[in-house]
A and B are shown apart, each in its own frame.
Chain A
Amino acid sequence: MADIAAPAPNWLDRLRPKSIGRLVTTILLFLGAWVMVFPFIWMISSSLKPTDEVYDSDFSIIPKTFKGWDNYYGVIFEQPYLIFLMNSMIVCLGILLIQLVTAIPAAYALAKLKFRGSTILFGTVIAAITIPINVTSIPLYIGLVRVGLLDTYFAMMFPFIVSVFAIFLFRQFFRGFPDSIIQAARVDGFSEIEIILRLILPSAVPAIAAFSVFSFVAHWNDLYWPLIVVQSQDKMTATLSMMQYQSAFDTDYGRTYASATVVTAPMVIAFLFARRLFIRGITMTGVKG
């Protein structure tokens, strides 16, 4: 009977920290979470404000003048927002597809085939991971100008079609695939391409999914390269479209933030639906996007 008579709000009871250590941990985690979440809150809050209020010294989360409708209406209806989304989609999927087509056979060869120079080749792949895009972007840009392919989907995808990171990731993953199955397949008459298609690929689904999430998010969020090679509005990606409200003389911050919110939204929604996949993608690739 004493059990039933016990203090009623047991949800509060559950929240009560079990020890000082736990309390400290919780506070630290809470602060960490705040650091992560605050920029988003700020972004959403600013997207509802008029420009002059965004960097007002008298800062508040709740906008004093609500300009949310104007900002969002402008972003979604006064510019071809769906075209931007489609451009982002085409570029991200295109990059991902070609990355998979190039990386999987390369990774299989590095992981499972014995050939002269494979160690050196793999070392080169590792070394290539360290080269940032900024180093190669000028020669790439000049090259694209020369062949007259600036402002095309091809130009937006070209630098990313071979991902050394994908080669590295898949190579590590494929190394765990049993050699005996590959040998059995060779005895049974599989060609190497069939070994990849019929045996390696089905077993690599987790790695492929993980890398897909990683690659898709990275290129969805990429501002740098589209900014360099895209000139016309009909080739703009969603992320790039945020830049439209900036000019040398004046920046409409309210709309820029509204635009940022709208661009982030598809990723956030996708994350909510496929949270497990995202987390696996980020932990497996070992890189926070």
Chain B
Amino acid sequence: MARLELTNIKKSFGDTAVLHDISLDVSDGEFVSLVGQSGCGKSTLLRIIAGLETPDSGDILLDGKSVLNSAPKNRNIAMVFQDYALYPHMSVGENMAMPLVMARLPLYARLPGMRRVTPVGRRAQPQIRAEVEKVASQLRIDHLLDRKPAQLSGGQRQRVALGRSLVRNPQVFLMDEPLSNLDAKLRVQVRAEITELHDTSGLTFIYVTHDQVEAMTMSDRVALLQTGHLLQVGQPNALYADPANLDVARFIGSPEINIAAGERLADGVKLGDVTLPVGVDGTGPVQVGIRPEAISVSNAAGLAALEQPVKGPALSFTKRMIEDLGPEVLIHGHFTHAPDGLVRIRAQKSGVYGETGALSRAKTLQVMLNPEQLLFFDAEGQRLSAKALAATTTTTTAGAA
């Protein structure tokens, strides 16, 4: 249980700066994900927290005390690695016992074979075994204690790695892409187990992933890194609905946010031949970010209407392909006025979907944008504030369209 503070962490490898001035506060018992594309510095940051790398400048505080100069083992931090990093020549039980052996026995008593011979070793052994067995049964791997890592499946190895980190009762639990070597089905299961582990243990978790879905579903807060910069830190929903810039908006959300070129006018934002009733600061070109579910298609196509149907200007949309995801469909295509920009629409199916076949027959659809869900960015990708304009404007523009 610990509060972790990172202040102004900087790190370069040779001439390449990997981390630029990262500051992050993680409160006690919080689950924070570090997310970003590979090479963004998230794993380096995690290794700095663990003490495996030294930052060029900045400080790491654990419960207010700097741990910058302590060795990894003295930080009481546990770490789970992407490839699990189990000790290949030791049994599962030995793997899990190692952190305790290292912490409790003097050097001479923990050399290979000496644990059974020395009095200290023999005294400590039953306690260590009991603790390993307790954690093993918690993780349901107690029947595997005598096996070697090579004899285990990926999911089992994952659990052993978790167990090895848990036995030592760490203050902070670090995980470096622990799910990326698992198959898709197992990943969902282990994801739930890790969340549960966090809830029951109450430990501070820092979780590194490149998969925004993992970050969004598991964490209390998400920290998004890009090329060594911390772009935004916030609750998963805040990052999705209220991104600070275009990079965040692009990274969070699957399928990716649609970007369309618009023009800021006095009475709203012009997109193709419609004018959206939204007031955005400034004038001139603007990038409009449209989440796939911010677009609605008329229910004539066999799709369910949105709960609050959008009344507004309709845009012409050219359909290219439909992906059927079961309860919903993903429609790929582009706005008819801008053939270069790929646009994806996510829509719920209605009861009549497939019976009418209207959607598969249609080449062009009339779609409506929900102005409240749109995000606006300037040419550099910085977010622009927007507010809905009066409803009267809506009707007039609708009429004009």
A184 close to B88 (CB less than 8 A): no
Stretch of A138-146, A166-174, A191-199 on the interface side:
A191-199
A186 close to B72 (CB less than 8 A): yes
**B-contacting residues, A133-185, CB 8 Å:** 178, 180-181, 183-185
Residue B81 at the A interface, CB < 8 A?
A: yes
B81 close to A183 (CB less than 8 A): yes
Closest beta carbon of chain B to A107's beta carbon, Å: 19
A187 close to B87 (CB less than 8 A): no
Q: Which residue of A lies closest to B102 (CB)?
A: A189
Residue A202 at the B interface, CB < 8 A?
A: yes
B-chain residues with CB within 8 Å of residue A181 when the two chains form the complex:
85-88
B102 close to A178 (CB less than 8 A): no
Determine the distance from Cα of A185 to Cα of B52 in the docked complex, in whole angstroms: 11
B-chain residues with CB within 8 Å of residue A189 when the two chains form the complex:
72-73, 99, 102-103
Q: When the two chains form the complex, which single residue of A185, A191, A197 contacts B87, counting CB atoms closer than 8 Å?
A: A185
Residue A190 at the B interface, CB < 8 A?
A: yes
Closest beta carbon of chain A to B259's beta carbon, Å: 38
Q: What 0/1 readout, one digit per residue, does chain B (50-90) give for beta carbons within 8 Å of chain A?
A: 11100000000000000000011100011101110111111
Closest beta carbon of chain A to B98's beta carbon, Å: 5
- Per the CB 8 Å criterion, the residue count for chain A at the interface is 18
Residue A52 at the B interface, CB < 8 A?
A: no
Closest beta carbon of chain A to B20's beta carbon, Å: 22
Residue A203 at the B interface, CB < 8 A?
A: yes
- Determine the interface band of chain B, counting residues with CB < 8 A from chain A: 20 to 34
Determine the distance from Cα of A75 to Cα of B101 in the docked complex, in whole angstroms: 57
Residue B112 at the A interface, CB < 8 A?
A: yes
Q: Which residue of B lies closest to A202 (CB)?
A: B89
B-chain residues with CB within 8 Å of residue A199 when the two chains form the complex:
87, 89
Determine the distance from Cα of A183 to Cα of B50 in the docked complex, in whole angstroms: 9
Q: When the two chains form the complex, which single residue of A180, A187, A191 contacts B82, counting CB atoms closer than 8 Å?
A: A180
A198 close to B52 (CB less than 8 A): no
B-chain residues with CB within 8 Å of residue A187 when the two chains form the complex:
50-52, 72-73, 77-79
Q: What 0/1 readout, one digit per residue, does chain B (326-338) give for beta carbons within 8 Å of chain A?
A: 0000000000000
Q: When the two chains form the complex, which single residue of A180, A191, A198, A203 contacts B85, counting CB atoms closer than 8 Å?
A: A180
Closest beta carbon of chain A to B123's beta carbon, Å: 19
**A-contacting residues, B22-75, CB 8 Å:** 47, 50-52, 71-73
A188 close to B89 (CB less than 8 A): no
Closest beta carbon of chain A to B234's beta carbon, Å: 29
A188 close to B164 (CB less than 8 A): yes
A188 close to B102 (CB less than 8 A): yes
Q: What 0/1 readout, one digit per residue, does chain A (195-210) give for beta carbons within 8 Å of chain B?
A: 0011100110000000
Known contacts being A188-B98, A188-B164, is A183 close to B85, with CB within 8 Å?
Answer: yes
A-chain residues with CB within 8 Å of residue B50 when the two chains form the complex:
183, 187
A-chain residues with CB within 8 Å of residue B51 when the two chains form the complex:
186-187
Q: Give the one of B99, B164, B168 with max A CB within 10 A.
A: B99
Residue B325 at the A interface, CB < 8 A?
A: no
A-chain residues with CB within 8 Å of residue B117 when the two chains form the complex:
none
Closest beta carbon of chain B to A240's beta carbon, Å: 38
Residue B3 at the A interface, CB < 8 A?
A: no
Determine the distance from Cα of A22 to Cα of B47 in the docked complex, in whole angstroms: 58
**A-contacting residues, B80-117, CB 8 Å:** 81-83, 85-90, 98-99, 102-103, 107, 110-112
**A-contacting residues, B162-201, CB 8 Å:** 164, 168
Q: When the two chains form the complex, which single residue of B73, B86, B168 contacts A186, counting CB atoms closer than 8 Å?
A: B73
**A-contacting residues, B126-156, CB 8 Å:** none
Known contacts being A186-B72, A187-B52, A189-B73, is A178 close to B89, with CB within 8 Å?
Answer: no
Q: Which residue of B lies closest to A183 (CB)?
A: B52
B-chain residues with CB within 8 Å of residue A194 when the two chains form the complex:
102, 107, 110-111
Q: When the two chains form the complex, which single residue of A184, A190, A191, A197 contacts B81, counting CB atoms closer than 8 Å?
A: A184
Determine the distance from Cα of A30 to Cα of B346 in the docked complex, in whole angstroms: 73
Determine the distance from Cα of A194 to Cα of B108 in the docked complex, in whole angstroms: 11
Known contacts being A188-B98, A188-B164, A189-B99, is A178 close to B73, with CB within 8 Å?
Answer: no
Determine the distance from Cα of A187 to Cα of B174 in the docked complex, in whole angstroms: 11
**B-contacting residues, A26-49, CB 8 Å:** none
Determine the distance from Cα of A152 to Cα of B81 in the docked complex, in whole angstroms: 52
Determine the distance from Cα of A7 to Cα of B83 in the docked complex, in whole angstroms: 59
B-chain residues with CB within 8 Å of residue A202 when the two chains form the complex:
88-89
Determine the distance from Cα of A191 to Cα of B101 in the docked complex, in whole angstroms: 12
Closest beta carbon of chain B to A199's beta carbon, Å: 6
Q: Which residue of B lies closest to A177 (CB)?
A: B88
Q: When the two chains form the complex, which single residue of B47, B86, B111 contacts A183, counting CB atoms closer than 8 Å?
A: B47
B-chain residues with CB within 8 Å of residue A185 when the two chains form the complex:
87, 98
Q: Give the one of A178, A185, A186, A189 with max B CB within 10 A.
A: A189
Determine the distance from Cα of A181 to Cα of B89 in the docked complex, in whole angstroms: 12
**B-contacting residues, A200-228, CB 8 Å:** 202-203
Determine the distance from Cα of A68 to Cα of B85 in the docked complex, in whole angstroms: 61
Residues of A within 8 A of B (CB): 178, 180-181, 183-191, 194, 197-199, 202-203
A-B contacts, 19 of them at CB < 8 A, read A178-B85, A180-B81, A180-B82, A180-B83, A181-B85, A181-B86, A183-B50, A184-B87, A186-B72, A188-B98, A188-B99, A189-B72, A189-B99, A189-B102, A194-B102, A194-B110, A197-B111, A198-B112, A199-B87
Closest 4 CB pairs of A and B: A189-B102, A189-B73, A184-B85, A202-B89
> Given A183-B81, A187-B52, 12 more contacts at CB 8 Å?
A180-B83, A181-B88, A183-B50, A184-B87, A185-B87, A187-B72, A187-B73, A189-B73, A189-B102, A194-B102, A199-B87, A203-B89
